[in-house]
Amino acid sequence: MSLTNIETFVRPETVEEAFAALGEHARPISGGTDVMLRNPTAATTLVDLMGLPLGEITESPGGGFTVGANATLTAMADHPGLAGHLGGILPEMLVHVGSPLLRNQCTLGGHLARGRLSDVVPVLVALDAEITWFDGEHHAAPIARFYEDGTHRGRLIVTGVEIPAATGTSAGAFHKFLRTFFDLALLNAACVLWASGDGTLDAARVVVGETPSLGVRVTAAEDALAGVAPGPEAFAAAGAIARAEVETRADSRASAEYRSQLVGVAVERCLAKAAARLEVSS
């Protein structure tokens, strides 16, 4: 690790000033956990975003949440409203991001801006969250589209995330396959289930991450779950659909074939956890 190329460190106080300070040789830094490991060698200036007023997590009267980009992952996991949202899907995921020390330091904005290897993105996709950013103008878009369109590669400042209020009788869950407790995911999955009043499911969100995509919705599995009774048979069928639909990748940690096996199991287990929370909350 070396930042000997850095000559200037600026700490703006507004998003506009911070954006104006960015450039070919000036990169943002928030928690710094990624920047310190992957030193942007072309940069001679670091623009410290932690002076911006983006640290708040607020709950709207309707039950939605605005999470500022500078909120740490620990602050998110500890927030009482977020902790209870959809049966606890957020802290369930956050406790699996690296170690407590990492979560104390790294920010939501830095995590989302880096656009790689994420436990957070699949959950935010399942929650129908929107990401907000500034690139001379303020923007908001569904989080999956932000990555699909390659927006994250542009010059911008991530300002936060909007998480909509829970609707109906609903619960979510997250499942991660990893080699050791503090490890990046081999594969992960997030889901949300909505119960109808007659013992069947109204709707489902099924998302698989750590594939070539950061978090891909499996709409065929979602469609298969709508209108059926929740249970092992329905969840195994949804897992099999996901396994057939989701493209997987190989790297030094696992083969594509192994990851493909994990897709079905992750989806099945994730759905079972969400269904158990639905029963508890109904």
Ligand X SMILES: Cc1cc2nc3c(=O)[nH]c(=O)nc-3n(C[C@H](O)[C@H](O)[C@H](O)COP(=O)(O)OP(=O)(O)OC[C@H]3O[C@@H](n4cnc5c(N)ncnc54)[C@H](O)[C@@H]3O)c2cc1C
> What is the smallest separation between the CB atom of 83 and ligand X, expressed in angstroms?
18
DSSP 166: P
The site for ligand X (CB under 6 A) is made up of 27-35, 37, 49, 69, 97-98, 102, 106-107, 109-111, 113-114, 117-120, 156-158, 184
- Shortest gap between Cβ of 101 and ligand X (angstroms)? 9
Closest of 281, 216, 220, 280 to residue 248, by C-alpha: 216
No. of helices (H) and no. of strands (E), the chain: 11, 12
The rounded distance, in Å, linking the Cα atoms of 261 and 243 is: 7
- Residue (2 or 199) nearer to ligand X, CB: 2
Q: Where are the beta strands (DSSP E) in the chain?
A: 8-10, 26-29, 45-48, 57-59, 65-68, 130-134, 138-142, 157-163, 169-177, 187-195, 201-209, 216-217
Minimum gap (Å) between residue 245 Cβ and ligand X: 23
Dist. CA 92–CA 121, nearest whole Å: 14
Q: How far is the CB of 125 from ligand X (least distance, A)?
A: 13
Asked if residue 27 lies in contact with residue 43, where contact means CB atoms within 8 angstroms, the answer is yes
CB closer to ligand X, 88 vs 230: 88
Taking the least distance from each CB to ligand X, the nearer of 12 and 230 is 12
CB of 77 to ligand X, least distance (A): 13
115/200 with CB nearer ligand X: 115
User: With respect to ligand X, which residue has the nearer C-beta, 110 or 230?
Assistant: 110
Q: What gap in Å lies between CA 179 and CA 160, rounded to an integer?
A: 31
CB of 156 to ligand X, least distance (A): 6
What is the side-by-side order of every strand in the sheet holding 8-10?
8-10, 45-48, 26-29
Min separation Cβ 135 and ligand X, Å: 10
Given the complex with ligand X, which of 160 and 230 has the nearer CB atom? 160
Name the residue whose CB lies closest to ligand X: 110
Which residue, 123 or 195, has its beta carbon nearer to ligand X?
123
What is the Cα–Cα distance from 126 to 129, expressed in whole angstroms? 8
- How far is Cα 97 from Cα 88, in angstroms, rounded to an integer? 15
Are the C-beta atoms of 138 and 132 separated by less than 8 Å? yes
SS3 275: helix
Which amino acid, 148?
Answer: E
